[in-house]
Amino acid sequence: MKMVRYVGKTQCDDGAYRRAVDNLGGVLIDWVSTSPNATVSFELDGKAVAPELEGTLLDFTDLGIFIYLADEMVSRAKATDYWTRAIRCLVPVTEPAKWRENQLLLSNTLGLLSGDIWQFDWVPLLFPRSVSRHRQQLPHGFDTVCLFSGGTDSLLGAVQLLREGRKVILVGHQSEGQAASAQKELAEKLCSMFPGKICLVQCRVARSIRKIPEFNLAKKVERSHRPRSFLFLTLGIGIAVRCGIRDVFMPENGLMALNIPLQKSRTGALSTRTAHPSYMINFADLARRITGFAGHIRNPFLTQSKTDMLRGLNPVLSPLVLRSISCARPSRFNDKGVRHCGYCVPCIHRRIALIEAGIDSACHYAFDIFNDFRSTDVSKQQDLRAVVRFATNIANASVTQLQALILSHGYFPPTVGSLIGCSETKDYTPWTDMVQNWARDLLNKLAAVTSSSTRLSLGVPDSGQRIVR
pLDDT in tens, 137-170: 888 899 999 999 999 999 999 999 999 999 999 9
Q: How many domains does the chain have?
A: 2
DSSP 150-169: SSHHHHHHHHHHHHTT--EE
Q: Which domain holds residue 158?
A: 1-206+227-245
Asked if residue 338 and residue 200 are part of one domain, the reply reads: no
75: left (phi over 0), alpha (psi -120 to 50) or beta: beta
Query: Is residue 253 situated within a structural domain?
Result: no
Question: What does the alpha-carbon distance between residue 22 and residue 34 come to, in Å, rounded to a whole number?
Answer: 18
Asked if residue 331 and residue 195 are part of one domain, the reply reads: no
Return the pLDDT at 153.
Answer: 97
| pLDDT-derived band at 393, boundaries 50, 70, 90 | very high
Asked if residue 323 and residue 232 are part of one domain, the reply reads: no
Say if residues 215 and 73 touch (Cβ distance below 8 Å).
no
Among 196, 214, 245, give the residue marking a domain's end. 245
Return the pLDDT at 251.
Answer: 97
421 pLDDT above the threshold of 60: yes
Residues paired with 43 in a beta bridge: 48, 202
Residues paired with 28 in a beta bridge: 4
Query: Is residue 282 situated within a structural domain?
Result: no
Average pLDDT value for residue range 402-430: 90
Asked if residue 449 and residue 337 are part of one domain, the reply reads: yes
For the ranges 10-24, 28-42, 334-348, 351-365, the one whose mean pLDDT is highest: 351-365
As a whole-number percent, the residues of the chain with pLDDT over 90 amount to: 66
The rounded mean pLDDT for the chain is 89
In terms of pLDDT, which residue wins out, 328 or 282? 282
Query: Is residue 56 situated within a structural domain?
Result: yes
Asked if residue 421 and residue 328 are part of one domain, the reply reads: yes
In terms of pLDDT, which residue wins out, 176 or 63? 63
Average pLDDT value for residue range 248-270: 79
| pLDDT-derived band at 270, boundaries 50, 70, 90 | very low
Which of 261, 272, 235, 262 is CA-nearest to residue 250? 235
Return the pLDDT at 124.
Answer: 94
| Report field, pTM of the whole predicted structure over 0.95 | no
Residue 344, SS3 per DSSP: coil
67 pLDDT above the threshold of 80: yes
| pLDDT-derived band at 269, boundaries 50, 70, 90 | very low
Query: Is residue 269 situated within a structural domain?
Result: no
In terms of pLDDT, which residue wins out, 329 or 284? 284
| pLDDT-derived band at 422, boundaries 50, 70, 90 | confident
Asked if residue 330 and residue 191 are part of one domain, the reply reads: no
Question: What does the alpha-carbon distance between residue 112 and residue 302 come to, in Å, rounded to a whole number?
Answer: 19
Query: Is residue 34 situated within a structural domain?
Result: yes
132 pLDDT above the threshold of 60: no
Asked if residue 241 and residue 327 are part of one domain, the reply reads: no
Query: Is residue 413 situated within a structural domain?
Result: yes
Say if residues 414 and 428 touch (Cβ distance below 8 Å).
yes
Query: Is residue 292 situated within a structural domain?
Result: no
Question: What does the alpha-carbon distance between residue 325 and residue 71 come to, in Å, rounded to a whole number?
Answer: 24
| pLDDT-derived band at 266, boundaries 50, 70, 90 | very low
281 pLDDT above the threshold of 50: yes
Which of 338, 352, 287 is CA-nearest to residue 106? 287
Asked if residue 347 and residue 232 are part of one domain, the reply reads: no
Query: Is residue 11 situated within a structural domain?
Result: yes
265 pLDDT above the threshold of 60: no
Asked if residue 413 and residue 322 are part of one domain, the reply reads: yes
Asked if residue 239 and residue 339 are part of one domain, the reply reads: no
Average pLDDT value for residue range 37-59: 90
Say if residues 325 and 182 touch (Cβ distance below 8 Å).
yes
Instruction: Render pLDDT for 310-366 as a digit per residue (tens, 0 to 9).
Output: 999 999 999 999 999 999 877 777 767 788 999 999 999 999 999 999 999 999 999
Average pLDDT value for residue range 423-452: 94
Backbone phi, then psi, for 104, in 5-degree steps? -65, -45
243 pLDDT above the threshold of 50: yes
Asked if residue 322 and residue 235 are part of one domain, the reply reads: no
Neighbour-count burial for 338-369, b at 16+ CB within 10 Å, e otherwise? bbbbbbbbbbbbbbbbbbbbebbeeebbbbbb
Asked if residue 239 and residue 316 are part of one domain, the reply reads: no
